[in-house]
Structure 1
Amino acid sequence: MAIRYWLGVVQRDHVLRGVAGGFAQVNHGARAPLERMHGADGFVFYSPKTAYPDGEPLKEFTAIGRIADDETYQATQGPMMTGPNGDFRPWRRRVEWDHDAVATPIRPMLPSLDFTRDNRDWGYQLRRGLIEISRHDFELIRRQMRPSPEDTRRNRSSARITMAR
């Protein structure tokens, strides 16, 4: 089966929970969109805001990885598993996240991405919560989310300075 590439649209606070838990969840826990994915597919999260519903605007790619296997599973335990009726059981996919990736803004990439180039209304398609993207777009986003060795050294140095204060 050919590898496909996916872009999920989720607020950053939810992305961070998914990265910490090793999973992806889209469209309020819907199963159908996740069933289209297969093991080894590429997956990237785009976060328009920091939090739902009243978070600050963000417009960044916030996580990137690969679908770990072919199983879609339903979460049954853990924080946030109870809806108003105590019955929230979202569907998820296991993801091998790139933990070295850094969030990166979409704006500088707009002219280069297939799904945004020459499309003033590029954000409209993201309302679906999950779209398939080209390999070109996935690789471009992945490269932008990988810090250069110089950036990594600089961030570690500033982290030491911050921690020393």
Structure 2
Amino acid sequence: MKTTTRAIKYFLIVASKDHVRKGIELSIAQACHGKVAPLKRMKAGDRVVYYSSKIKMEESGKANSCQMFTAIGTVKSDDKPYQVVMSEDFKPWRVNVEFEKNVKELSVHSVLDQLEFITNKKNWGMAFRFGFKEISESDFLVIENGMLN
């Protein structure tokens, strides 16, 4: 019987910095307000990076602006999404992630010109509008190197 090994994939998730911090505490990833579809694309060993456009989800304005890559990690071996009940109306899906420790946040502006997934450098924020996307290994490594060094 032939077994195939799937190549590692690299994912970008957009979430406010306060939500990313909670995810790090719980060693979990959530995407797109708790939707399951994005998480079903992730498998054990896949890498994930979080981008935070703002500090707190409920606030707006320049004082709440973040524009940083805020966390980086690896999907754990128990890679199946699972649902939790936060309230009667909110039952988000999650996947377990082991986050890198001792990383520094990285300004998107410092790597903007090096990232292939940002095709329009003038309107770069459009690249983050869907909240979840697969990115290339080279883009992931640019971000990872900036966060770990």
TM-score w.r.t. length of structure 2: 0.89
- For 2:143, which of 141, 144, 153 is the aligned residue? 141
Q: Deviations over 1:53-108 (max 9, x none)?
A: 215101000000111132111123xxxx12xxx23110011001001111111101
The CA distance in 1 between the partners of 2:68 and 2:119, in whole Å, is 17
- For 2:124, which of 114, 117, 122 is the aligned residue? 122
Contact preservation (8 Å) 1:110, 1:117: no
The CA distance in 2 between the partners of 1:120 and 1:66, in whole Å, is 31
Deviation of 1:117 (Å): 5.0
Number of residue pairs matched?
A: 140
The CA distance in 1 between the partners of 2:90 and 2:120, in whole Å, is 40
Identity %: 38
The CA distance in 2 between the partners of 1:140 and 1:36, in whole Å, is 22
Structure 2 counterpart of 1:2: 7
Structure 2 counterpart of 1:59: 67
Structure with the greater alpha carbon radius of gyration: 1
Does 1:29 pair with 2:34? yes
- For 2:48, which of 28, 43, 46 is the aligned residue? 43
Structure 2 counterpart of 1:90: 92
The CA distance in 2 between the partners of 1:125 and 1:140, in whole Å, is 16
Deviation of 1:39 (Å): 0.8
The CA distance in 2 between the partners of 1:125 and 1:142, in whole Å, is 18
Does 1:75 pair with 2:84? yes
SS in 2 for 1:87: coil
The CA distance in 2 between the partners of 1:75 and 1:103, in whole Å, is 28
The CA distance in 1 between the partners of 2:108 and 2:96, in whole Å, is 25
RMSD: 1.3
The CA distance in 1 between the partners of 2:8 and 2:144, in whole Å, is 15
The CA distance in 2 between the partners of 1:111 and 1:117, in whole Å, is 9
Give the letter for the 1:33 counterpart.
P
SS in 1 for 2:113: coil
TM-score w.r.t. length of structure 1: 0.80
The CA distance in 2 between the partners of 1:45 and 1:25, in whole Å, is 10
Q: Deviations over 1:12-59 (max 9, x none)?
A: 000000000000001110000110111111100000000012151010
Q: Deviations over 1:129-152 (max 9, x none)?
A: 1011110111111111114xxxxx
